[in-house]
Amino acid sequence: MQRKIITLLLIAMFINSGYAQSGKINIKTDHLIEANYLKMDDFYLTHYLYIDLFLRENLFPEASPKDVSSIIIALKKYVSVENKLDVEIEKPGKRNYLIRFTILKKDDGTELLIAFTNWSVKKKKFEKEIKTENDSYTRWYFLNGNKMTYRKDMSNENDYSTMNKSDLANSYLFDELTDNDSEIKKTIEEYLNQSNLIISDKIMANLILLKYRIFKKESDNVEKQTEYLNELFEKNKSESNLRGLKAAFNATKFQIELAK
């Protein structure tokens, strides 16, 4: 469950060579036609791509909102079934961090956004180039209208009948189904109305509610929910088992900055 929360953009200006540079973020594409192919809500792009491509594996945790923004904006503009997008992030050490975004359209019409990297999961280091056939760190997501869903968050990967209401609300938010989105708020509020919640469960549920408010673009409620969570963490700062949740909260606050 915590994985889902933890599993929980500078505008790139392209020139005729198909090359753009934003600080230490270099973005390359073969074609400069703005396809605007990706239709999913920015909520999913900022949630998945920041967590998966910057925080996981400690790939580039020092990225600023400006850095991440430049990549996401370019991704939305230029990637399509016909056109890949290559990103090079300059970093200390022998090798830079490379990411290649592609869209795969399967025979049944299913579309996947795939992010290949030059990070070797086995060797725990950056390789000279991206090798899609080896153990390089790769993430892929199903595209369905305004939703973008990580493969393990797909509805057919989970048994909703066995979940408590907190987990269920989280699954509704991140699965590929749009019909259950209207149940998210009610489901999480029912969970929070229980009187016997331990603090970690209460914070987890409130993090999901914060994610939902970001998704719904409720700016005032996002601010209030963030302040409330800040208070919860401050009141319970002596609790040693909240470190993972605090990291998830910090990642969510970064996502809020990306949305501004």
Who wins on pLDDT, 259 or 166? 166
Using the predicted structure, report yes or no on whether residue 18 has a pLDDT greater than 90. Answer: no
The string of pLDDT tens digits covering residues 103-141 is: 999 999 999 999 999 999 999 999 999 987 668 899 999
The domain segmentation of the chain, as residue ranges, is 2-153, 156-259
Looking at mean pLDDT, say which of 18-22, 92-96, 162-166, 240-244 comes out highest.
Answer: 162-166
Using the predicted structure, report yes or no on whether residue 239 has a pLDDT greater than 60. Answer: yes
The CA distance from 206 to 47, in Å, is 16
Mean pLDDT of the chain: 88
For residues 205-221, b (16+ Cβ closer than 10 Å) or e, as one string? bbbbbbbbbbbeeeeee
The string of pLDDT tens digits covering residues 155-213 is: 999 999 999 999 999 999 999 999 999 999 999 999 999 989 999 999 999 999 999 99
Degrees to nearest 5, angle at CA 229 with 225 and 230: 115
CA 195: distance to chain centroid? 32
- CB neighbour list of residue 18: distance below 8 Å, 6 or more residues apart: 28, 29, 30, 31, 32
Using the predicted structure, report yes or no on whether residue 20 has a pLDDT greater than 50. Answer: no
Q: What is the pLDDT of residue 17?
A: 30
Write the burial class of residue 24 (CB in 10 Å: 0-12 exposed, 13-18 middle, 19+ buried).
Answer: middle
